[in-house]
């Protein structure tokens, strides 16, 4: 999630009194550098110095390692896969590093379903779900699941069914996740528009579609894989406690992020305690956290 990471981390780092050097992923160098230039323009317009943020124009693994070892760099903030995180941890510098996530979103029978449907589509569809905190799977109480889906469709979801779900799974999942194994998405489709993914399974849908919604069983690979793209599974449960217990399982105990839509204070509290994650959102889109 290059643009949102540059904006969020850049503002936080400047607020802390730092200048910043970014070494973006090579596949994201154009969008990252463009975002950095916009922030720098805003800083100068507000009376600040030029080039408070800068970036390696043609980033590589070697340039990242050079930055990590540079004596004038005091703090490394790392997002990405385990290899780059491990390299940062071995640098003898202070490190803030992100880990994997697979945030579950529970919806129970007490939830405001109009709001929940809107919030989940907005959250899961944000930046095409490439952000690690975004809703990755929906765990809904059976009695409200149909109404929840209706509200999501009103807000930009398109529901896939039957063979369409099988096709999209084969397309976007490279290494199917399962209990005890987090799996991996097809990198070709990470961050792609829902309409682009739909086109590649033979569907012509609106370019304004935010997410592709797939109702599946609890052991489907879409549930267990951090997909990082706008194909979102929904699983039904007979009651909210079963949904919460399953949320702990499919999150792989990463303790990263999770959310719930409910008006039941006891259930809100129960899930928060069981998940014990860094980011826990109640009755809102995950990005609000």
pLDDT digits (tens, 9 = 90+) for 226-280: 999 999 999 999 999 999 999 999 999 999 999 999 999 999 999 999 999 999 9
- Is pLDDT above 90 for 83? no
Which strands make up the sheet holding 211-215, listed edge to edge?
A: 157-160, 211-215, 231-237, 137-141, 104-107, 257-261, 279-282
- Whole-structure pTM value: 0.88
* Domain residue spans of the chain: 2-97, 104-288
Q: What is the pLDDT of residues 9-44, one digit of tens each?
A: 999 999 999 999 999 999 899 999 999 999 999 999
User: Mapped to the 3 state alphabet, what secondary structure does the chain carry?
Assistant: CHHHHHHHHHHHHHHCCCCEEECCCHHHHHHHHHHHHHHHHHHHHCCCCCCCEEECCCCCHHHHHHHHHCCCCCEEEECCCHHHHHHHHCCCCEEEECCCCCCEEEECCCCCHHHHHHHHHHHHHHHHHCCCCCCCEEEEEHHHHHHHHHHHHHCCEEEECCHHHHHHHHHHEEECCECCECCEECHHHCCCCHHHHHHCCCCCCCCCCCEEEEECCCCCHHHHCCCCCCEEEEEEECCHHHHHHHHHHHCCCCCCEEEEECCCHHHHHHHHHHHCCCEEEECCCHHHC
Decide: 85 and 99 in contact? Cβ < 8 Å.
yes
CA 155, CA 163: separation in Å to the nearest integer? 24
CA 176, CA 194: separation in Å to the nearest integer? 20
Burial grade of 25 (CB within 10 A; 0-12, 13-18, 19 or more): middle
CA 57, CA 37: separation in Å to the nearest integer? 12
Q: How far is CA 159 from the centre of its chain?
A: 20
Q: What is the pLDDT of residues 102-157, one digit of tens each?
A: 999 999 999 999 999 999 999 999 999 999 999 999 999 999 999 999 999 999 99
CA 171, CA 169: separation in Å to the nearest integer? 5
| pLDDT of res. 80 | 76
CA 257, CA 131: separation in Å to the nearest integer? 11
- Quote the Cα angle for 191-132-65, to 5°: 90
| pLDDT of res. 33 | 96
Task: Write the class of the CATH domain 104-288.
Answer: alpha beta
- Is pLDDT above 80 for 70? yes
Q: Which fold has domain 2-97?
A: Aldehyde Dehydrogenase; Chain A, domain 1 (3.40.605)
- Quote the Cα angle for 128-9-254, to 5°: 65
């Amino acid at each position: 999630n290059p643009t949102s990471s540059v904006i969020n981390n850049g503002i936080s780092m400047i607020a802390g009194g730092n200048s910043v050097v970014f070494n973006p992923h090579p596949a994201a160098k154009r969008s990252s550098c463009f975002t950095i230039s916009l922030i720098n323009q805003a800083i100068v317009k507000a009376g600040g110095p030029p080039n408070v943020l800068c970036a390696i124009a043609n980033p590589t693994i070697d340039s990242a390692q050079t930055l990590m070892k540079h004596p004038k760099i005091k703090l490394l903030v790392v997002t990405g896969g385990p290899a780059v995180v491990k390299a940062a941890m071995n640098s003898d510098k202070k490190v803030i590093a992100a880990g994997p996530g697979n945030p579950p979103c529970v919806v129970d029978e007490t939830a405001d379903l109009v709001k929940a449907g809107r919030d989940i589509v907005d959250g899961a569809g944000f930046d095409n779900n490439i952000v690690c905190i975004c809703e990755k799977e929906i765990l809904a109480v059976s009695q409200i699941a149909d109404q929840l889906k209706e509200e999501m469709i009103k807000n930009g979801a398109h529901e896939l069914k039957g063979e369409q779900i099988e096709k999209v799974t084969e397309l976007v999942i490279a290494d199917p996740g399962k209990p005890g194994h987090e799996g991996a998405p097809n990198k070709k489709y990470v961050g792609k528009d829902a309409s682009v993914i739909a086109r590649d399974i033979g569907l012509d849908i609106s370019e304004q579609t935010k997410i592709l919604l797939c109702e599946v069983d609890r052991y489907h690979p879409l549930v267990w894989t951090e997909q990082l793209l706008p194909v979102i599974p929904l699983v039904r449960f007979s009651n909210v406690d079963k949904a919460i217990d399953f949320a702990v399982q499919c999150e792989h105990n990463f303790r990263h992020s999770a959310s719930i839509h409910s008006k039941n204070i006891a259930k809100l509290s129960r899930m928060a305690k069981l998940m014990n994650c860094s980011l826990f959102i109640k009755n809102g889109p995950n990005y609000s956290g």
